[in-house]
Amino acid sequence: MPILTNAQNSKNSIVEKSHLHYSCVHAIPGRLRLKIPILKYDQKYLHNLETLLKYEPSIASFRINQTAASLVIYYQHQTISTNQIHDYLDYMILAAAKD
């Protein structure tokens, strides 16, 4: 699983990989809010990401706001560390861009 960044180190850290940008805009234990601009205009990417998130057992729930290009993740912070959830999300955000 590639680790691109640990968004915990910088609340506004940004990852760029093949024109894919995103940032963690808010984080508290059990909840993360990410800004992912590609969500606004790429329906296939949005669908791929939804599919990956649905089958990730460490994610309790999530919601995507396409208009705001944001993703809110709820996870069990008692069973998974902040670093681990960031690592999983880094992987899923990039994996969703693959055809």
Which residues of the chain are under the pLDDT cut of 70? 1-19, 99
Instruction: Give whole-number Cα distances, 5 to 15, 44, 78, 89, in Å.
Output: 7, 24, 22, 10
pLDDT value at position 19? 62
Q: Are 12 and 99 in contact (CB under 8 A)?
A: no
Give 5-27 pLDDT, tens digit per residue. 334 333 333 344 446 789 999 99
Prediction pTM value: 0.78
pLDDT value at position 62? 97
pLDDT value at position 23? 93
| CA separation for the pair 39, 82 (Å, rounded) | 23
pLDDT value at position 99? 64
pLDDT value at position 2? 34
pLDDT value at position 69? 96
Total Cβ atoms within 10 A of residue 2: 9
